[in-house]
Amino acid sequence: MSDATPALKLSGVRAGYGETVVLEDVGFSLPERGSLAVLGRNGVGKTTLLSTLIGHTTFHSGTIEHQGRPIERLPAYERSRLGIGYVPQEREIFPSLSVEENLTVAAHPGRWTLERVYELFPGVASRRSHMGNQISGGEQQMLAIARALMGNPSLLLMDEPLEGLAPIIVETLLEAVQRLIREESLTMILVEQHAKLALEVTQSALVLNRGRISYLGESAALLADPQRLTSLIVGT
For the residues of 24-56, what is the DSSP string, one character each?
EEEEEEE-TT-EEEEE-STTSSHHHHHHHHHT-
Look up the pTM and report it: 0.93
Phi, psi of 70 (to 5 degrees): -65, 130
Q: Helical H runs in 28-166?
A: 46-54, 76-81, 99-104, 114-120, 122-125, 137-150
| pLDDT tens digits in sequence order for the chain, 236 residues long | 356 899 999 999 999 999 999 999 999 999 999 999 999 999 999 999 999 999 999 999 999 999 999 999 999 999 999 999 999 998 899 999 999 999 999 999 999 999 999 999 999 999 999 999 999 999 999 999 999 999 999 999 999 999 988 999 999 999 999 999 888 789 999 999 999 999 999 999 999 999 999 999 999 999 999 999 999 987 54
